[in-house]
Structure 1
């Protein structure tokens, strides 16, 4: 049986320096491209994946502790319900109730909630640009980090009462299908939240530009991202918008279904990370990213980003919210799926 001996750090370092592998690693120091074996870029990917894994381990631990507390309360004969998620029917009813709440909300509160929602999206986008843009590998690390960090925006929005046009597109449509809201109510909410989202995102763009944060890797990533977003055809961009908001509205659905913070976090994280990693288009996120690209030096005009991206993406997002998710959920759990004589 082999034994393990303790070796002093100085001796280990001297022995390591004598090997050819260490010399090759030293020669590669400072390079960001993958050149086989271990290097800085691979280490960064491992760190990003390790951070994501640690986040979900912590969330699982918190959820386990909450469940144990509920079990203890139940055995004692008191305390709240032990359910950690609602049923699909309960979740649908919550969204119907929310549509009524949004219908009756004063426009100033809708605008404020939309402004804050846009600001949260901008903050998450800026975080993703600053960290992801300075990672080593454009195709692996940057996208993985962006997908891991960006979902924080929706968690902040949904847990603080903020509003996004994208989520409201489904919620208000459900209210219309259930005859709790009118089409006029829907269009009013969509318009106010959309405009407010723009102002919220532009605020974060202005702050980032004023403080000099659109530099280095963040600047390069912003320009590259915007150029790519404006390179597809109108039809392709509409379809990307549909697929994106389908996932976003499902994140809203899962967050509404979850009854504890850790469940909401998990429910939000995966659908949002999924649309980022695939490359679908989110109108509110683009309200931040597109101006960030222009401020960073992208050779595009404001008209270019509107016609080539924001307008088709908005159309696609609205279609997904109103018809794919809104009508689909009403057909499953609401009036659209009921017979006339019921």
Structure 2
């Protein structure tokens, strides 16, 4: 049963399932703007990561501590995305997989939605990196040098390494956003989304949208030793594919366990189905309808606020 502070796993799972259909019907401009906003906001965390890397003492004497500190500051962007209900392509991977499994959207909706959100994320991250940070002259020479060195390290990784890091990354990212969707209050949403993001950054995993800022910003310093082709062919493609697999690994079991038809808020019987799938034989039709309306209200509210 749900507590006043959170909804159930079944409600959250169905909120994500239904969010796919809602987003699929949304007008293109709104979808693009939500994605642009997400790419821009996530880059805030990337900025802090690059600023912290500028201190050579950490890199030489305490690289582990540096990763922990970067993990502490990077989640700022994701938390803002959750609260602004913006759209990251990594979160849309999960939503569309879930919606397609329950036949709420056609298979081709994957490619349309992912492409649109990907373009929005990329343009938001590049606008922030190029116009605000680079031409704004925000970085000192030391920060620019560290940004280029960090970008070189990411670009030098093998395709399979970035792919596998992408799996670990999006498993954590989708877990973060899903846990945030369980909460009803802002503080809980922030805390729930913060911890898995802290983990993925400190561990050094690859997030396709984070790389849309970190590597181009390194290239813009003119100190990086890799090409745009290398960035696209290895970092973007490998992290994107890994992120897809990571999302699927988390949400496919969720749909199988908590997204069964008996938990569908459209079903009259759903109100008396508990977390273990048992149904009470007692209760009038009116009681069912009232509880189902409450269940439905929670699911619709969660679906409307689904982001990330």
Q: TM-score per shorter chain, which class?
A: 0.7 to 0.9
Q: Does 1:150 align with 2:90?
A: no
> Alpha carbons of 1:211 and 1:247: their partners in 2 closer, same or farther (altered >3 Å)?
same
Taking the aligned partners of 2:95 and 2:150, their CA distance within structure 1 comes to 30
1:204 to 128, 131, 142: 128
Taking the aligned partners of 2:93 and 2:45, their CA distance within structure 1 comes to 21
How much has 1:337 moved relative to structure 2?
11
Aligned to 2:161: 236
Q: Does 1:251 align with 2:251?
A: no
Taking the aligned partners of 2:42 and 2:28, their CA distance within structure 1 comes to 21
Kept in 2, the 8 Å contact 1:330–1:337? The answer is no
Q: Does 1:159 align with 2:80?
A: no
| More relative contact order, 1 or 2 (CA 8 Å, 6+ apart) | 2
How much has 1:318 moved relative to structure 2?
1.3
Per-residue CA deviations over 1:88-142 (Å, capped at 9, x if unaligned) read 1111111122112111111111100000000001122113322443474121443
Aligned to 2:9: 88
SS for the counterpart of 1:86 is coil
Taking the aligned partners of 2:153 and 2:10, their CA distance within structure 1 comes to 40
Q: Does 1:318 align with 2:239?
A: no
In the alignment, structure 2 segments of 5+ residues that lack a partner are: 264-308
Kept in 1, the 8 Å contact 2:53–2:147? The answer is no
Q: Report which of the two structures shows the higher radius of gyration computed on alpha carbons.
A: 1
Aligned to 1:215: 140
Q: Does 1:303 align with 2:229?
A: yes
Mean Cα deviation higher: 173-182 or 205-214: 205-214
TM-score (ref. length: structure 1): 0.71
Aligned to 1:109: 30
Taking the aligned partners of 2:47 and 2:230, their CA distance within structure 1 comes to 22
Within a 5 Å distance, the mapping from 1:51-66 to structure 2 comes to none
In the alignment, structure 1 segments of 5+ residues that lack a partner are: 1-80
Aligned to 1:186: 110
Kept in 2, the 8 Å contact 1:177–1:336? The answer is no
Kept in 1, the 8 Å contact 2:5–2:183? The answer is yes
1:130 to 40, 51, 54: 51
- How big is the alpha-carbon RMSD for the aligned residues of Structure 1 and Structure 2? 1.9
Within a 5 Å distance, the mapping from 1:278-289 to structure 2 comes to 278-289=203-214
How much has 1:82 moved relative to structure 2?
6.1
Taking the aligned partners of 2:18 and 2:56, their CA distance within structure 1 comes to 44
Paired positions, count: 257
Runs of 4+ in 1 over 4 A off after TM superposition: 335-338
